[in-house]
Structure 1
Amino acid sequence: MSRRNVLAAKRWRLEMRSRILHGMRLFFVERGFVEVQTPVRTPAPAPERHIDAVRSEDRYLQTSPELYMKRLLAAGYDKIFQICPVFRRGERGRRHHPEFTLLEWYRLGADYEALKADCRDLLQAVCAYVGRFPRFSYGVHLLSVLPPWEHWTVRDIFLERAGWDPFQSYDADRFTEDLVEKIEPALGFPAPAFLSDYPPEEAALARLRRHRDVTVAERFELYWAGIELANGFSELTDRREQENRFQECLARRREEGRDVYPWPQRFLESLDDLEAAAGIALGVDRLVMLLTDASSMDEVTAFEPEHEP
């Protein structure tokens, strides 16, 4: 198929993508959120062990607008959202591109439970706006945006489906392998599902709390049809604790021979002015995949990342 025909074949999905983005913006604006725009290039990305930033001269392309958006929260902005491109080195697959689109939103004075409510309302509103309410087909599955949505804790689902407790004997490699192979593929059928309360080692920027006999991170991920759509958490606002976590992460990256990023001093200083807050990132391309019955991100983006203009 010629390049012209490839682009032409994508037209209806790209038009649907446009409607989905418009529906997202309507949802947040109608609820009093302010749309913001932050720098795409940053001198200091958030240190995360498994996310590698792309260099751009003396800066890095953003892996997420998170640090800038939390600085806005610290300045008193109470409800903000942004839809923007982000960049991560070495990510390529059906559900991964080195350049993709994130929707991020943040609430001041809230926790991760408020974000879960936002997710339910947002997906229902967007599905209705683009004609995928209350049910639609995705491959061989009939999906529904209607409740009930499943709620799992990480501990419970690992005990049931992987046969071990990651809080009692945490193993990073085993955790990732079992999550990807034994847990994620079955989550979110027919309605979306929440997976909540992660081990502390799996949450670089999330608040911790005691739950029963263990410490958990107030983090959740949203799944639909086995696809991870969103990652949200109650924000860690303790500056000293955040500094310690960043130092540990940078030390691990140094040991593994990965880039060690500059220290995000301005962000850390802003935590002195930030009280309770919550934030979340949702993968726009993956949601478009679901709502257009696409099997890969290539089908819902006009140009694949490696293509020349």
Structure 2
Amino acid sequence: MSWRPSCQLAALRLRADILAATRCFFAERSVLEVETPLLSYSTATDLHLASVSAQVDLPHQQGSKQMFLQTSPEFAMKRLLAAGSGAIYQTTKSFRNGESGIRHNPEFTMLEWYRPGFSLSELMSEVADYLSVVAKLDKPDVITYQQAFLQYLNIDPHRADEQTLFQLAKQKTGISGDGLSRDDCLDLLLTHCIESKLGCEKPVFMIEYPASQASLANIKEIDGIKLAQRFELYANGLELANGYDELIDADEQLHRFKADNKARKLDGLPEIPIDHHLIEALKSGLIKCSGVALGMDRLQMVIQKTSSIDDVIAFPVGRA
């Protein structure tokens, strides 16, 4: 046990510089800085995200209410967009349960921004500008999900059958199980065999993920394959950011939330209350937009050339 911060004081000064440069970057582009709640009655339904829950007592209400610390500010920011905010960003704390290690802390800092009217390629260009201005990083290359699997594993992730993917995942990772889905196998192969090789010479955007991994992104058919209109940004083998051509169809969004909860139930995971505020906001009308979430702690890891998140935050969970 130690009361001292895990990082050097120079890291705190660097974080202050990054935050100041971030504010300048968006101010020059007339992107509005906003704040949204950390606590909400609903949260992400994604099977691969575990939220931190809290029991909250409210005056004049009987019993405690279950609330959640947000895995990202996405839902509330989209409500602001639907209300006519225009382009917005925020730097905020986010929380994910069960994530702790040299690259993860259950409490972390996220930069998230949304650009109404921007295509995904236009947003990628702005992300590249941000990396250049704030982190002095090179303009990222672009690789498709398919190209990455072909290059590093010699397999087409979109056309390979489930048994082939299962056997390859077992061979490459040593992990197997009757309950592994197609996406589970792809995720294992990506995280164990590909991610560490991405962005090692210069940052790289990976695009055109399988439609089954769309999450909150739109889907487009390309060469007969349905693909998620999203990207992930990698540098030095670290995933830094996740961007979407945002889904704005309320009915489809509700369908995906319900499908997530059905899958969660089958996996023995708790169902998540659906964010009907978001659904109603989408119904009211959200113009076409693109958005991105970027991990500030990981970005600082790249700038500092360190492999441990403890080197860029003052008090990780072990010292909180």
User: What is the TM-score with the length of structure 1 in the denominator?
Assistant: 0.90
Q: 1:9/1:83 Cα in 2 relative to 1: closer, same or farther (>3 Å)? A: closer
Distance 2:254 2:130 in 1: 33
Letter in 2 for 1:197: E
- Structure 2 distance, partners of 1:269, 1:306, is 40
Q: Which residue of 2 aligns with 1:138?
A: none
Letter of the 1:93 counterpart: G
Deviation at 1:182, TM superposition (A): 2.0
Instruction: State the partner residue of 2:150.
Output: 159
Judge which range, 71-80 or 228-237, deviates more: 71-80
CA distance in 2, matches of 1:76, 1:234: 18
In the TM superposition, residue 165 of structure 1 has moved relative to its aligned partner by 2.1
> Matches of residues 111-260 of structure 1 in structure 2 within 5 Å?
111-127=119-135, 133=136, 145-147=137-139, 149-168=140-159, 169=161, 171-260=182-271
Q: Secondary structure at the match of 1:231?
A: strand
Identify the residue that residue 304 of structure 2 maps to in structure 1.
Answer: 292
Where do 5+ consecutive residues of structure 1 fail to align? 128-132, 134-144
Please state whether the residue corresponding to 2:294 is helix, strand or coil.
strand
* Aligned counterparts of 1:216 and 1:28: Cα–Cα separation in 2: 30
Matches within 5 A, 1:57-96: 57=55, 58-96=66-104
Structure 2: distance between partners of 1:213 and 1:165: 14
| Match 2:291 to one of 271, 276, 279 | 279
Matched positions, count: 289
CA contact (8 A) 1:52 1:259 kept: no
Q: Distance in 2 between matches of 1:16 and 1:104?
A: 20
Residues in 1 aligned to 2:184 and 2:155: alpha-carbon distance in whole angstroms: 14
Asked if structure 1 preserves the Cα contact closer than 8 Å seen for 2:21 and 2:134, the reply is: yes
Residue 70 of structure 1, CA deviation: 0.7
Deviations 1:58-79 (A, max 9, x none): 2100111000001111111221
Deviation string, structure 1 residues 66-115 (Cα, Å, up to 9, x no partner): 00001111111221001000111100111111100100000111221122
For each residue in 1:215-250, what CA deviation from the matched residue of structure 2 results, as whole angstroms up to 9, or x when unmatched?
111010000111100000100111111111111111
CA RMSD of aligned residues (A): 1.5
Q: How far 1:8 sits from its partner (Å)?
A: 8.3
Percent of aligned positions that are identical:
38
Amino acid in the other structure paired with 2:305: D
Q: Which residue of 2 aligns with 1:303?
A: 315
Q: Secondary structure at the match of 1:77?
A: coil
One-letter code aligned to 1:3? S
**SS at the partner of 2:230?**
strand
The residue aligned with 1:99 is 107
Change (3 A) 1:229 1:68: same
Structure 2: 5+ residue runs without aligned partners?
A: 56-65, 163-181
